[in-house]
Structure 1
Amino acid sequence: MEEERAPRPAWGRWQRGDGGRGLPWRSTVLIAVIVMVGTGFAARNQPGRETLDVLGRALLLLGAAPLLFRHRRPVPVVFGVAAVTLGYLAAGYPYGPVFGLVGVACFAAVVHGHRTAAAWALGLLWAGHLLLSHWLYRWLPPAGDGPAPWGQELPAAAFAVAVLAASETVRVRREQRAQLRADRAAAERRRADEERLRIARELHDVLAHSISVINVQAGAGLALLDTDPEQARTALKTIKAASKEALGEVRQVLDTLRTPGDCLLYTS
Structure 2
Amino acid sequence: MPAQGNALTRARDRLRAHPVACDALLAAAVLAAMVLGSFVDPHGDGTGPTFGIRTPGPAGVVLMMLGAAALVARRRAPLRALAVTGAVTVAEFVAGDPPAPVAMSAVVALYTVASRTDRPTTWRVGLATMTVLTAVAMSFGSSPWYAQQNLGVFAWTGMAAAAGDAVRSRRAFIDAIRERADRAERTREEEARRRVAEERLRIARDLHDVVAHHIALVNVQAGVAAHVMDKRPDQAKEALAHVREASRSALDELRATVGLLRQSGDPEAPTEPAPGLAVLDDLLDTFRNAGLPVRLARTDQDTHLPSAVDLAAYRIIQEALTNVRKHAGQGATAEVSVLRVGRTVEVTVLDDGTAPVQAVGAPGAAGAPGGHGLVGMRERVGALGGALTAGPRYGGGFRVQAILPLTTRGGEDGAT
Shift of 1:212: 0.4
Of residues 163-172 and 207-216 in structure 1, the stretch that sits farther from structure 2 once superposed is 163-172
Alignment identity in percent?
Answer: 23
Matched, 1:180 2:177: yes
Correspondent of 2:87 among 83, 91, 107: 83
Change (3 A) 1:193 1:134: closer
Q: Deviations over 1:217-255 (max 9, x none)?
A: 232133224212556975689879988998998899xxx
**CA distance in 2: counterparts of 1:248 and 1:61, whole angstroms:** 79
Shift of 1:211: 0.5
Aligned residue pairs: how many? 224
Shift of 1:174: 1.5
Q: 1 or 2, which has the higher strand percentage? A: 2
**CA distance in 1: counterparts of 2:70 and 2:129, whole angstroms:** 17
Correspondent of 2:72 among 68, 93, 105: 68
Corresponding residue for 1:57?
Answer: 61
Question: 1:148 aligns to what SS in structure 2?
Answer: coil
Shift of 1:216: 0.4
Give unmatched runs, 5+ long, in structure 2. Answer: 1-15, 44-52, 227-239, 264-416
Corresponding residue for 2:217?
Answer: 220
Matched, 1:26 2:21: yes
Are the aligned partners of 2:133 and 2:154 in contact in 1 as well (CA < 8 Å)?
no
Cα RMSD, aligned residues only: 3.8
Q: Deviations over 1:97-150 (max 9, x none)?
A: x3332222222222223444444444444444455445456xxxxxxx5x5331
Corresponding residue for 1:157?
Answer: 154
> Superposed, which structure 2 residues align to 1:1-268 within 5 Å?
24-46=19-41, 52-92=56-96, 94-96=99-101, 98-130=102-134, 132-136=136-140, 145=142, 148-152=144-148, 153-229=150-226, 230=240
Larger radius of gyration: 2
Of residues 123-132 and 103-112 in structure 1, the stretch that sits farther from structure 2 once superposed is 123-132
Q: TM-score, normalised by structure 1?
A: 0.65
Shift of 1:210: 0.7
Higher relative contact order (CA 8 A, sep 6+): 1
**CA distance in 1: counterparts of 2:124 and 2:18, whole angstroms:** 25
Are the aligned partners of 2:71 and 2:81 in contact in 1 as well (CA < 8 Å)?
yes
**CA distance in 2: counterparts of 1:193 and 1:126, whole angstroms:** 51
Are the aligned partners of 1:75 and 1:117 in contact in 2 as well (CA < 8 Å)?
no
Shift of 1:209: 1.1
Change (3 A) 1:123 1:238: same
Q: TM-score, normalised by structure 2?
A: 0.44
Of residues 236-245 and 155-164 in structure 1, the stretch that sits farther from structure 2 once superposed is 236-245
Letter in 2 for 1:32: A
**CA distance in 2: counterparts of 1:116 and 1:81, whole angstroms:** 21
Change (3 A) 1:108 1:169: same
Question: 2:32 aligns to what SS in structure 1?
Answer: helix
Are the aligned partners of 1:111 and 1:167 in contact in 2 as well (CA < 8 Å)?
yes
